[in-house]
Amino acid sequence: METTEYEDHEFIRHCDSIIATLPIRYPFDVHAFIDAFGEQRGIAVVLGRMPTGRGGTSGLLVRARTQCWLGIAAAAVPAHVAHITYHEVGHLVLGHPGDYVCGRRSCPDDRWEIEAEQFAYRLRAHIRAGMARHRDRLPPGRTALRAAFGSRRHLCADG
């Protein structure tokens, strides 16, 4: 099987090096991450819900000089909200030009969409691994409490 540039180890290393610089803190919260990300980049990043369009749009990225808007489909479940957010952040940190509307009708051959999607999966894996390490460091009392009452993980499904 032929390797594409998106499966290239160099691109993966590039994504991982960018992810290592992002302001990810645990316990992880996507809104806190977006606020810290905006601070780090020196712009206001606004994360909000938008109605789902007829084309099945799931995410929207609109940039201005001092602000950036990330629109997420109102019908998106929490795990999808996180993934769409990571995808849109990918467009920003990978230096893709312009604004983006992402959804079912996006061209699957669009290099920038594929890169943003790959970045989103890398970021999600990084956050999930960090959440697992953070849970492992909980004091014994907190771990027992979590075990007794169950995890809320099913409510979030993803970081």
What residue type is assigned to position 28 of the chain? F
Which pLDDT value is given to residue 141? 56
CB 90 within 8 A of CB 120: yes
Indicate whether 102 belongs to any domain. yes
Indicate whether 1 belongs to any domain. no
- Tens-digit pLDDT profile for residues 119-139: 999 999 999 999 988 887 666
Dist CA 74 CA 53 (whole Å): 10
Indicate whether 3 belongs to any domain. no
Counting residues of the chain whose pLDDT is more than 70, the rounded percentage is 74
Q: What letters, b where the CB count within 10 A reaches 16 and e where it falls short, cover 51-66? A: eeeeeebbbbbebeee
Q: Which of 34-38, 140-144, 153-157 has the lowest mean pLDDT?
A: 153-157
Dist CA 159 CA 99 (whole Å): 25
User: How many independent structural domains does the chain possess?
Assistant: 1
Q: Which of 2-16, 25-39, 88-102 has the lowest mean pLDDT?
A: 2-16
Which pLDDT value is given to residue 100? 73
Indicate whether 4 belongs to any domain. no
Which pLDDT value is given to residue 140? 61
The band of 115, judged by pLDDT with boundaries at 50, 70 and 90, is: very high
Q: Which residue segment(s) compose the domain that 59 sits in?
A: 9-156
Dist CA 125 CA 96 (whole Å): 22
Which pLDDT value is given to residue 116? 93
Indicate whether 72 belongs to any domain. yes
Task: Give backbone dihedrals phi and psi of 152, rounded to 5 degrees, phi first.
Answer: -90, 10
Indicate whether 148 belongs to any domain. yes
> To the nearest whole number, what is the mean pLDDT of the chain?
81
